[in-house]
Chain A
Amino acid sequence: MGDRQSRVALLVDHSRNPRHEGVLEDADVAMPGGSPECGGSVVVYLKGDGNGGVRALSWTGEGDTISMGATSVVVEKVHDDGLTMQDVLDLSYDELVERLGRDVIGNRTRNATMGLSTLKSAIRKYLKDHRALPKERTVA
């Protein structure tokens, strides 16, 4: 995707103007992740539709440009593409890093994937708590 400058600009834009940020008061799951001493920390708020779909999704966090920007990029994708829970579980960490730019992320892959890994943890907890089986794609 574009040159390095545009890849940096994407992360900077998302970290400074985070999409879908905020506490979801009636979330089914509030999942913490990351570390405040190492890149950043997030809390992912997830509400399911009981049928393998995502009814609502938001996040809060504090951290560096890569961790906050990448979390915002992932959450926006779930919303915009209407991903189901299974779709999210199938998202590849490698592809995320590739999309964000390996030349930008360098060795900080943990920062870049912190949001996605926390989101996956939130979904696994939701599925475990609700014994819901992920089904076909639904609109977020």
Chain B
Amino acid sequence: MSEQQITEKNYAHPEALVSTEWVAEHLDDPSLRIVESDEDVLLYEVGHVPNAVKIDWVEDLNDPLTRDYVDPEHFAELCSSKGIGPDTTVVFYGDKNNWWATYALWVFRLFGHEDVRVMDGGRVKWEAEGRPMTQEESSFGRADYPVHERDDSAIRAFMDEVREHSERGGPMIDVRSPGEYSGELLHMPDYPQEGALRGGHIPGAANVPWARAAREDGTFKSADELRSIYEGEAGLKQGDDVVAYCRIGERSSHTWFVLKYLLGYDKVRNYDGSWTEWGNVVRAPIER
């Protein structure tokens, strides 16, 4: 996988992706920091891309008390401790088709970090290509990351906004599995529903499971393939104001990345309250 192959996929913002080859050539580049962010939090210890640092979405990005992300002071401290400055190019990668990598990237964008990218194919592709892995924990000198206020207005949606969006028929993508979308999951004995009292979806939302955006090797599908899914099947149109959601906002950050950077939708918001909020609120309208 080279930059040429990313270019050939005709994305709106190809600069948001880098190839495994590009990362391999920039392992020692002091202007960038490689960040591994996984669902399986011990994978980094098992082995990681040389000079990569670990950011754990639970321990590092979530506020431990309030259901929210860390405050600006904590984010600045996190970045400083990882050797990330405000001008550092941050390249995210991880397991599960970069699911958590895009989540971490989305949080970095909430804090206004400009230069963020994803390694196309993530951890699975790096390993499949036999590229070097290390167990040595990377450490860099402290950087001086300024305290930026978090801007929740542009790419994050809250329940009141989503309710209003739904009422006026705004386009929404529910990125959960078809069973969760239909509400059947409540009745599936193998997979107890966790965190929500009601099953179904927000009225008006189309269902596009997040992983449909990825190929088997973990890389993103081409822009044409993605358009066929999100526009051909789900009915989105360029210029739409789109809300994406899932269970807690992590899978939908992947779809947010796809719509925003790969297909070039200017206004896409991730509703991180997602089904664990909507499915518990008294009198919240639900479709099945």
Interface residues of A (CB under 8 A from B): 5, 8, 11-12, 32-33, 35-38, 41, 43, 64-66, 104, 106-108
Which A residues are CB-close (under 8 A) to B46? 12, 65
Contact A66 B247 (CB under 8 A): no
Main secondary structure of the interface of B (DSSP, over half): loop
Given the known interface contacts A106-B56, A106-B58, A107-B59, the answer about A66 and B190 at a Cβ–Cβ threshold of 8 Å is no
New contact pairs (18) apart from A65-B41, A106-B59, CB-CB < 8 Å: A5-B45, A8-B42, A8-B45, A11-B42, A32-B189, A32-B191, A36-B191, A38-B247, A41-B190, A41-B191, A43-B190, A64-B39, A64-B40, A64-B41, A65-B42, A65-B43, A66-B42, A108-B58
Least CB distance from B95 to A in Å reads 9
Please report the number of residue pairs spanning A and B whose Cβ atoms sit closer than 8 angstroms: 47
Least CB distance from B136 to A in Å reads 12
Is B192 an interface residue, CB under 8 A from the partner? yes
Which B residues are CB-close (under 8 A) to A104? 42
Given the known interface contacts A12-B46, A37-B247, A65-B46, the answer about A108 and B192 at a Cβ–Cβ threshold of 8 Å is no
Which B residues are CB-close (under 8 A) to A8? 42, 45
Q: Give chain B interface residues in 16-64, CB to chain A under 8 Å.
A: 39-43, 45-46, 56, 58-59, 64
Give bound CA distance, A37 to B247, whole Å: 9
Which B residues are CB-close (under 8 A) to A32? 189-192
Which A residues are CB-close (under 8 A) to B247? 37-38
Which B residues are CB-close (under 8 A) to A43? 190
Residue ID in chain B nearest A38 by CB atoms: B194
Give bound CA distance, A7 to B93, whole Å: 25
B217-244 CB contact bits vs A (8 Å, 1 = yes)?
0000000000000000000000000000
Which A residues are CB-close (under 8 A) to B45? 5, 8, 12
Residue ID in chain B nearest A41 by CB atoms: B191
| Number of B interface residues in the complex (CB < 8 A) | 19
Q: Give chain B interface residues in 49-100, CB to chain A under 8 Å.
A: 56, 58-59, 64
Main secondary structure of the interface of A (DSSP, over half): mixed
Contact A107 B64 (CB under 8 A): yes
Which A residues are CB-close (under 8 A) to B58? 106-108
B173-200 CB contact bits vs A (8 Å, 1 = yes)?
0000100100000000111101000000
Given the known interface contacts A12-B46, A65-B46, the answer about A106 and B41 at a Cβ–Cβ threshold of 8 Å is yes
Give bound CA distance, A106 to B56, whole Å: 10
Least CB distance from B253 to A in Å reads 14
Least CB distance from B142 to A in Å reads 22
Give bound CA distance, A117 to B12, whole Å: 47
Least CB distance from A51 to B in Å reads 29
Give bound CA distance, A5 to B64, whole Å: 25
Chain B CB within 10 Å, residue with most, of A12, A35, A36, A108: A35
A-B contact pairs, 30 of them (CB 8 A): A5-B45, A8-B42, A8-B45, A11-B42, A12-B42, A12-B45, A12-B46, A32-B189, A32-B191, A32-B192, A33-B192, A35-B192, A35-B194, A36-B191, A37-B177, A41-B190, A41-B191, A43-B190, A64-B39, A64-B40, A65-B42, A65-B46, A66-B42, A104-B42, A106-B41, A106-B58, A106-B59, A107-B58, A107-B59, A107-B64
